[in-house]
Amino acid sequence: MIPAAARGTTTVSARAVARIAQQAATETPNAVGTVRGTATVRGQRAEVSVRLGLPWPADLGRRAGEVQRHVASRTGELTGLSVRVARLRVVRLQRPTGATVVFGTTAPAAEGRVPRRWWSARPTPVVVAALLGAAAAGLLTADMASVHLFGNAPAAWRTGLVDRLAATSPAAGSVTVAAAAMAVAGLWLLLLACTPGLRKRYVVAGFGAGRSIALDRAAVASVVRDRVLDTDGVDSVRVRVGRRRVRVRADLAFGDRAAAREQAGAAARAALADCRLNRPLRVGLRLRTTSTWDPTPPGPEPVPAGGAERKESP
């Protein structure tokens, strides 16, 4: 019998793990729309992130938790890896057509410290900086090894660079430009390291760092828009979500303007409260009347006399 150590190893690529996580997310009834997944594999552990939509109105915390648990358990079962609870990014909230859903107000239980914002991995600048540094270090190491191990003459590029640096004054223009470029690059990398980068995602409160759920600005805007559209007399709504404030522009077709403004503002604030964002957003509402605005709400259509009892003879 061949010992276990001599049988080889099975490696599951990150792309395969991401595809399996996508499939696992689509198996849940909570996922709507197109599902996208990414994964990072480190040895026998994997970190999975899923991008999808959720039905709304509904208990977002409960539904998102169900998706996370199923994706983690199903992906670990099919790959044999130890999968952390998936990071969930909600890009769209979809209202079911022809159905009435009551929104649940049960808040998810907190698990550890809640992150204020998702941080971007920023692989592109890291890879570029690492490749440039590795290329320069590789060339210098290869030339020095050739000189000290095999007795070859130093490369012309290295001796020429040393001669130019020795003959160049520190106040020369080329040195100043090179130093300024390196300072700008260093400040750029420092800025990327100290800022989150994912400004269009809002973390949902009530989850720990290992089970973070984020809502896109577009999803928050759709929730606010749908809730304000339910206000009596409001004909159209435009929503713009910023970092700290939500700007709502609504057109009123009929009804009292002051009452509609109060109802629309309350609806927008209630929608944001239902999203349970970790950092509450302020609401700025602008309500204007349309050209055909009628200050009196339309009443019920009059019923003709005897119309309810009139029957046509066959």
pTM of the entire structure? 0.54
Q: What is the pLDDT of residues 213-250, one digit of tens each?
A: 777 888 888 888 888 988 888 888 999 998 889 999 99
Q: Identify the pLDDT of residue 89.
A: 80
Q: Identify the pLDDT of residue 200.
A: 75
**Under a CB-based contact definition with an 8 Å cutoff, are residues 52 and 36 in contact?**
yes
Q: Identify the pLDDT of residue 211.
A: 52
Q: Identify the pLDDT of residue 312.
A: 46
In this prediction, the residues of the chain whose per-residue pLDDT falls under 50 are: 98-112, 308-314
Q: Identify the pLDDT of residue 121.
A: 66
Q: Identify the pLDDT of residue 4.
A: 54
